[in-house]
Amino acid sequence: MREAFRRFATRTSEWVGRPAAFVIGLTLIVLWGLTGPLFGYSDSWQLVINTATTIITFLMVFLIQNTQNRDARTIHLKLDELLRGVKGARTAMVALESSTDAELAELQEDFERLHRRLTQHRAGRLRADPEQGTAA
């Protein structure tokens, strides 16, 4: 059942992300709008589009979330593999997604400090050797 849902969710997400799906949806909305005079813009006429769009939106949330979860998991695994294979890479970065928010904030601050140091270092080299230009 899980595999069947995964395949269904993947195929559906791929299909609804195409321009043709948008055109079909837009066409249905235009057709619904054009039928307004036939039904006197009644409450029932409005209820049709409200109900249909609510149901479709509700179900699409689950399909898209399933697909995004799977994509995120595969990207993390690929990045973990690259981190393990790169000499000098910090292996502490593997499985970083299981870190707490505080740990992630601390790591982000570390990278921001590193970025500032590198920027200052490059600026100092450029002042010392203006021939380098921006290629430093």
> 45 with 36: CB under 8 angstroms?
yes
Q: What is the DSSP string of 48-111?
A: HHHHHHHHHHHHHHHHHHHHHHHHHHHHHHHHHHHHHHSTT--GGGTTGGGS-HHHHHHHHHHH
Read off the pLDDT of residues 42-75 as tens digits, 9 standing for 90 and up: 999 999 999 999 999 999 999 999 999 999 999 9
pLDDT per position as a tens digit, 83-101: 888 888 888 788 888 889 9
Question: pTM of this prediction?
Answer: 0.62
**Residue 136 DSSP class:** -
- Cα(64)–Cα(21) distance, rounded to whole angstroms? 15
Rounded (10°) CA dihedral 105, 111, 117, 120: -100
Over residues 1-29, the mean pLDDT reads: 93
